[in-house]
Structure 1
Amino acid sequence: MDTTYDILIIGAGPIGLAAGLEAQRAGLSYLIVERGCLVNSIYNYPLNMTFFSTSERLEIGGIPFTSLNAKPTRAEALEYYRRVADSAKLNINLFEEVEHLQPEGEVYRISTSKGSYLARKVVVALGFYGIPNLLHVPGEELPKVRHYYFDPHYYYRQKVVVVGANNSSADAALDTWRKGADVTLVVRQPELGSIKYWTKPDLENRIKAGEIKAYFNANITEIREREVDIETRQGKVTLENDFVLAMTGYQPDFSFLEKIGVQLSQDEKRYPQYDPETMETNLPGVYLAGVVCGGMDTRVWFIENSREHAIKIVEHITQELQEEKV
């Protein structure tokens, strides 16, 4: 017969792991299912990325996170979350994608790419790093266009256009320029956006010195094998180009939320419906945790302010399960 878990957690990012830790401490049976590797979003961050937050603000479950400097690196974060998973012996299935969720009597059946499970409650702790915001311009499908930036060495002696105004675009522009790329930054806004305080002056100085070219109030309108067209207030500019790094942000998997029945607002923000006190959605027994709660406002929730979701959720689930037994 099928095992029925108290909680099935979709997503093995930091908040999904936090939910697993809380379930374990509450004595609840649980399973975490993740379509990629452990903390898949962090794995896909740039190789040399440094977090804006300090290490203690990235801790989950009260397990200490120490780093060499005040701001931990991607490598240190990966090490920390691996050690959390191992030390707590968290029950995790990796590289297993959840395909559907449907009620079956008083429980939910969760169908995945490798099997199916029964659970009394479900926690959806999806990140937003898997689906990029597209430019929607001709040529975006070309292999030279990348929505993820990993290692600057790859772009040595290449003509690179970086699209965006925030942290990821600033890091990509500076890193690739320092490794020998000819970099042009294309920014839709009239100025740079929200950038780490130790990075922004560096980028501003590189632009002022002409070492990194920048077009503000500008948009890419077409991408070709060897060129890129940019629309500026002064008219169209055509640049020789080898690669486009479109650092235009990411979004949660709204299609999955809609498929399982979570209601979303009909405006551009696509806010999912949930109770902020319990994190329960319009689906009884289905909860949201982490950045997915913000819809398209992907800068509302971070590890440091959404790890409390795990505590709220497990407290509510524990209370409900106890009431069901009475």
Structure 2
Amino acid sequence: MKHYDIIIIGGGPIGLACGIEAKKASLSYLILEKGALVNSLYNYPLNMTFFSTSERLEIGNVPFMSINSKPTRIEALEYYRRVTKQWELNIHLFEEVKGFEKTGVNYEIKSSKTEYTAENVIIATGFYDIPNLMNVSGEDLPKVTHYYKDPNFYAFQKVLVVGANNSAVDAAMETWRKGAKVTMVIREEGIGERVKYWVKPDIENRIKEGSITAHFSSQIKEIREKEVVISTPEGEKVIENDWVIAMTGYQPNLPFLQSLGINLSKDEIMKPQYSDESMETNLPNVYLAGVVCGGMNTHSLFIENSRVHAEQIVKAILEKRS
């Protein structure tokens, strides 16, 4: 088995940042990513625009040049590819970590392809892989998706969008502009406060003029082959429907953390236990980085405010060694 000072689980922006810091400190490391490079960003909607400006997404002192002040998904993919190439990061793609266990002073890591040993493990697995389910009849029908990609697919179709935050609003606006008949089902009384400030007036005006139908304080009761049943303040409604885009949010793989022995808080946030200073968990020499640190509170951490985790972790590892 090949041995490393650090195994980094997750090849997103924060995982890459951890690899950069390890390389700067002359520590041997390997990044293991179960999908494509920055897999979560790859699976974002094709036309997505970040809320953050480009400089707030930078890692490794590599400038992020964007045509506009807010970079797009495709610009981010190209940027992190260039970062990976420029730093010549040691990364294995499409290799999933199945688990690890302590063996003496090291950890033995088992992946989908082989096994490794490492003195330290950094978990930077993000939160985009597990959607929050609605738990309604018909949610498993082929016409229901929790991931939205390309609006052209829905041209001239009857589309129902669930949710009122950025992903839902983008899906509603983009599919409507491609000719879809769009209905939104929203649990709250209005469009989410976190919606991008340049988009929020647009969706509210489309709803106000009747171009997009929105049912507030409502939820889906049942999904059928050609229609959807909705519970609204005015009573139950049945609407014709071809596709359901359920933008209900996502959650980190907390069962994976639990299977490793990392403690989670007992409340609904289920926040992992770690040191705010070193990012070390209750497991010695096992660290967390990025959005996964927030547990179910996935809106508390972003690329821009968790880049520093990489520096904190490598600093802690070096201090232990000294």
Tell me the TM-score normalized by structure 1.
Answer: 0.98
Equivalent in the alignment of 1:144: 143
- Alignment partner of 1:135: what SS? coil
What is the CA deviation profile of residues 184-209 of structure 1, one whole-angstrom value per residue up to 9, with x for unaligned ones? 01100011112000100000010001
In structure 2, C-alpha distance between the alignment counterparts of 1:98 and 1:260, rounded to whole Å:
11
In structure 1, C-alpha distance between the alignment counterparts of 2:58 and 2:85, rounded to whole Å:
15
Shift of 1:4: 1.6
Shift of 1:255: 1.0
Equivalent in the alignment of 1:319: 319
Equivalent in the alignment of 1:41: 40
Shift of 1:211: 0.2
Shift of 1:61: 1.6
Letter of the 2:99 counterpart: H
Equivalent in the alignment of 2:221: 221
Letter of the 1:277 counterpart: E
Letter of the 2:20 counterpart: L
In structure 2, C-alpha distance between the alignment counterparts of 1:283 and 1:31, rounded to whole Å:
20
- Alignment partner of 1:244: what SS? strand
In structure 2, C-alpha distance between the alignment counterparts of 1:250 and 1:223, rounded to whole Å:
20
In structure 2, C-alpha distance between the alignment counterparts of 1:88 and 1:269, rounded to whole Å:
36
What is the CA deviation profile of residues 262-307 of structure 1, one whole-angstrom value per residue up to 9, with x for unaligned ones? 1111211110000001000000000000000000100000000000
- Alignment partner of 2:307: what SS? helix
In structure 2, C-alpha distance between the alignment counterparts of 1:85 and 1:62, rounded to whole Å:
12
Shift of 1:321: 2.2
Shift of 1:319: 1.4
- Alignment partner of 1:122: what SS? strand
Equivalent in the alignment of 1:171: 170
Letter of the 1:187 counterpart: I
User: Structure 1: which 5+ runs fail to align?
Assistant: none
In structure 1, C-alpha distance between the alignment counterparts of 2:31 and 2:279, rounded to whole Å:
18
CA RMSD, Structure 1 to Structure 2 (Å): 0.6
Tell me the TM-score normalized by structure 2.
Answer: 0.99
Equivalent in the alignment of 2:5: 6
Equivalent in the alignment of 1:159: 158
In structure 1, C-alpha distance between the alignment counterparts of 2:175 and 2:113, rounded to whole Å:
40
Q: Which runs of 4+ in 1 moved over 6 A?
A: none
Residue 96 (1) aligns with residue 76 (2): no
User: Structure 2: which 5+ runs fail to align?
Assistant: none
Letter of the 1:182 counterpart: K
In structure 2, C-alpha distance between the alignment counterparts of 1:117 and 1:224, rounded to whole Å:
47
Equivalent in the alignment of 1:246: 246
Letter of the 2:236 counterpart: K
Equivalent in the alignment of 1:83: 82
Percent of residue pairs identical: 62
Equivalent in the alignment of 1:181: 180
In structure 2, C-alpha distance between the alignment counterparts of 1:39 and 1:210, rounded to whole Å:
38
Equivalent in the alignment of 2:69: 70
Equivalences for residues 241-320 of structure 1 within 5 A: 241-320=241-320
Shift of 1:110: 0.4
Number of equivalent positions: 321
Letter of the 2:256 counterpart: F
Residue 105 (1) aligns with residue 104 (2): yes
